Amino acid sequence: EIVLTQSPGTLSLSPGERATLSCRASQSVSSSQLAWYQQKPGQAPRLLIYGASSRATGIPDRFSGSGSGTDFTLTISRLEPEDFAVYYCQKYGNSRPMYTFGQGTKLEIK
Amino acid sequence: EVQLVESGGGLVQPGRSLRLSCAGYGFTFDAYAMHWVRQAPGKGLEWVSSISWNSGYIDYADSVKGRFTISRDNAKNSLYLQMNSLRAEDTAFYYCAKDFSGSSWYYFDYWGQGTLVTVSS
């Protein structure tokens, strides 16, 4: 079973700064099977990135994803106030278990 | 506009049953796989179960296998989760989510707002 480990657990930054969030897999993950979600308090998760690097519909281009194998990264180039939230990576695909989430990274205002 | 609306949550005693529903709007419901994901209060996301567009393929997380049953009624644009033998650790917000695809397993492109299930005596 693939385990996704996100780091850091909490990231404290200021608006305008660059955020780099990590997702490390215990086994190699196809880059076509890695997604990122954003969740704000009291809201459902929202898809940001799929296929490791493709932005979902309506997602601003300050959000970008990269990586392959066991190491994946979500980068927010210049933080806006609305970007402070919890971010989850997800492995998806046909191998069981089909879906695995990382434990999340909380991005908080410094 | 795609909308997913969950219902059926509430307070239930350990060992009892509950059935969640999810109504889909704004998309061709019977063309897509659907999923349930849960989140214990203050915790992370946990995949629960998935069903293909025609109910031909179903899968469960080990934590709920044998106790939960996923189903769908495409004529009613609805997804269900029958939860039996509920435990305190099943307490969570339950989200339904739409798959990007119908017959394979991809990412979740739309989510409902969730319904809270509390298992307590």
Note the pLDDT of residue A94.
80
CA–CA distance, A93 with B1 (Å, rounded to integer): 26
Question: Rounded mean pLDDT of A54-62?
Answer: 97
For B50, nearest residue in chain A (alpha carbons): A98
Reported in sequence order, the residue ranges of A8-81 that DSSP labels E, i.e. its strands, are 10-13, 19-29, 34-39, 46-50, 54-55, 63-76
| pLDDT digits 0-9 by tens, B8-29 | 999 999 999 999 999 999 999 9
- With a CB cutoff of 8 Å and minimum separation 6, the contacts of A24 are A4, A5, A6, A7, A70, A71, A72
CB A76 within 8 A of CB A60: no
Residue for token digits 């889909």?
B24
Inter-chain contact B95–A45, Cβ cutoff 8 Å? yes
B50/A98 CB distance under 8 A = yes
CB-nearest to A97 from B61, B108, B112 is B61
Backbone angles phi, psi at B87, to 5 degrees: -120, 165
Instruction: Judge: B105–A92 Cβ closer than 8 Å, yes or no.
Output: yes
From chain B, pick out residues whose CB is under 8 angstroms from the CB of A88: 44-45
Give the confidence band of B103 by pLDDT, cuts at 50, 70, 90. confident
Q: Quick check: A92 and B112 CB within 8 A?
A: no
